[in-house]
Amino acid sequence: MSAPAVLAGLLDFRRLDLLAAEDSALHRLDARAKLVVALAFVVCVTSFGRYAVAPLLPYFVFPIAVAAAARLPAARLSRQVALLLPFALLIALPNPLFDREVLLRVGGVGIAGGWISLVSILLRALLAAAAALTLVAVTGFPAICGALERLGMPRQLAVQLLFLYRYLAVLGEEALRMTTARELRGGGRPLSLRLYATLVGRLLLRTWDRAGRIHLAMCARGFVGDFRSGERSRFGRREIIYVAGWCGLFLLLRTQDPTHRLGAALLRLFQ
Amino acid sequence: MNPPVVEARGLTHVYDDGTVALQDVSFRIAAGESVAIIGANGAGKSTLLLHLNGHLTPTRGDVRIGQTPLTRQTLPSIRRSVGLVFQDPDDQLFMPTVYDDVAFGPRNQGLAEEEVGRRVQEALERVGVWSVRAKPPYRLSGGEKKRVAIAGVLAMAPDILVMDEPTSGLDPHARRQLIGLLADFGHTRIFTSHDLDMVLDLCPRTIVLFAGAVKADGPTRDIFADAALLAQCRLERPLALQACPRCGRTQD
């Protein structure tokens, strides 16, 4: 974990907050509508069978459309989404080892089911991450927690989530300071496991202290355990249309398999 | 003298590890007074401030704000009237934008959004940083952060402003500007500081803490004239009161 890497992660994290402060028709929608659509999206995408690849592709229309409508920086968000790929790969990697049954032949080369399910897992991870990131970028994390609470999540849990988000940034800042301090005096030597353990322990204690001070400052300004955001927006007609429109599309894509139909239609055209 | 708005009587605080941070501290501060609490590192300044709006509970003795003793029940109303500005603005500013951060307090008070908006604008204009309202706090300079942190407390319309080391970490220009700003406030003000020149500019009265006890309490100029007291409490005369290094004369 080098200082520049920590810094980059931290800045990206904070820039997501900045995006949420912009203004667009999507930004102005009630957070609950956006949250419900994102959840429906993830449920739909994960509900496919394990060898599904082609039917997943049309779902990319959702994050792309959201990013376009809210004028989000697509390149940067794609990079952030791609950062999650190694984790998904870690989960999917054993599949080709255990599932060797050939399911597909392309030009005489047999492709085992394991490889197909690996691609399927990666696609789903990409889709889910893209949906989550665009959700945060057009809504803002505090508003999402507010929406969760208004949708019936216990307030304590929603506030915990918010603190998690807030302290993650604090942890990042502290980690950055420590890695910088170490690199300045470390003489380029690699970190021993023992030293690493000490650093992590120290990081926890420092974050703990700092979190305590932040909590004090919040209490000093009348914080009594619930975050009030300014806009108590309404779930109006726009929201209903947004939710119904996207959920309808997700269901359609789930039941009709348009890629398959498109492929079949193209085949017919060429034959 | 006006009736006291802040009163400590026999305030003693012993931390869990047995450290005695405050020992039988008593003082009365009247409405509109501007008072400095000075002392060496570890003299108990911060512990004292944390008592003034109920973050710590006295081991013995009590604190009264106006007519109200500080208890668990009166805590919300006391926190409304005592605005505490922390030393490190990074500990205080945490919302995504300056506007939202300043609005945090008023929103917690349950004010209507129009009133919140009015308060935020007033507070940010008061400290001269209304123009950065849409920025995230971490993009601000140190001086701006300090101002936003003060605005966040002003927006709650407190009667009493308590500030921990207001000028620490500021460049000379930002420090001078901040002192000018604080001098204009009509609130009852309590500062802790190692910046004794600031104390001289802002506070007619000074309380000196030493090892958790009140060592002196009186007019700032008298206290700074007492060389023996300052030396004992690990303090120094402010530069403005020291003799000119070239001609040896003092200001007054």
Q: What is the pLDDT of residues A62-114, one digit of tens each?
A: 999 999 999 999 888 888 888 888 888 888 888 888 888 887 787 778 888 88
ipTM of model: 0.81
Whether A203 maps to a domain, the answer reads yes
Mutate to test the interface with B, among A221, A224, A226, A232 (most CBs of B within 10 A): A221
Whether B204 maps to a domain, the answer reads yes
Contacts of A155 (CB under 8 A, 6+ apart): A149, A225, A226
Whether B105 maps to a domain, the answer reads no
Among B10, B80, B33, residue whose Cα is nearest residue B187 = B33
Place of tokens 């998904």: A88
Whether B140 maps to a domain, the answer reads no
Whether A261 maps to a domain, the answer reads no
Whether A166 maps to a domain, the answer reads yes
Contact with chain B for residue A230, Cβ under 8 A: yes
Chain A residues 123-152 within an 8 A CB cutoff of chain B = 140, 142
Structurally, how many domains does chain B consist of? 1
* Per-residue b or e along A192-207, where b marks 16 or more CB atoms closer than 10 Å to that residue's CB: eeeeeeebeeebeebb
Whether A266 maps to a domain, the answer reads no
Among B190, B181, B107, B180, residue whose Cα is nearest residue B148 = B181
Mean pLDDT of B125-135: 91
Place of tokens 């605080």: B13
**Cα–Cα distance for residue pair B190/B172, rounded to 1 Å:** 22
Contacting A with CB below 8 Å, chain B residues are 50, 53, 55, 76, 79-80, 83-84, 86, 88, 90-92, 94-97, 100, 103-105, 107-110, 113, 116, 134, 136, 138, 152-153, 156
Whether B57 maps to a domain, the answer reads yes
pTM of the model: 0.76
Among A225, A84, A261, A192, residue whose Cα is nearest residue B108 = A225
Residue A34, number of CB atoms within 10 A of its CB: 25
Closest residue, chain A, to B162 (C-alpha):
A220
Give the pLDDT confidence score for residue A74 in this predicted structure.
Answer: 87
Contacts of A117 (CB under 8 A, 6+ apart): A50, A51, A92, A95, A99
Residue A220, number of CB atoms within 10 A of its CB: 25
Structurally, how many domains does chain A consist of? 1
Mean pLDDT of A165-185: 81
Contact B104 A224 (CB under 8 A): no
Q: Between B95, B96, B105, which is nearest A222 by CB?
A: B105
**Cα–Cα distance for residue pair A203/B154, rounded to 1 Å:** 33
Contact A220 B84 (CB under 8 A): yes
Chain A residues 5-34 within an 8 A CB cutoff of chain B = 14, 17-18, 20-21
Tell me: the pLDDT tens digits for B186-214?
899 999 999 999 999 999 999 999 999 99
Question: Which residue range(s) make up the domain with A35?
Answer: 3-244
Contact B79 A17 (CB under 8 A): no
Whether A269 maps to a domain, the answer reads no
Tell me: the pLDDT tens digits for A2-29?
555 655 666 666 677 778 878 888 988 9
CATH number, domain of B18, equals: 3.40.50.300
Whether A263 maps to a domain, the answer reads no
pLDDT score of B103 more than 90 = yes
Question: Which residue range(s) make up the domain with B61?
Answer: 4-86+160-241
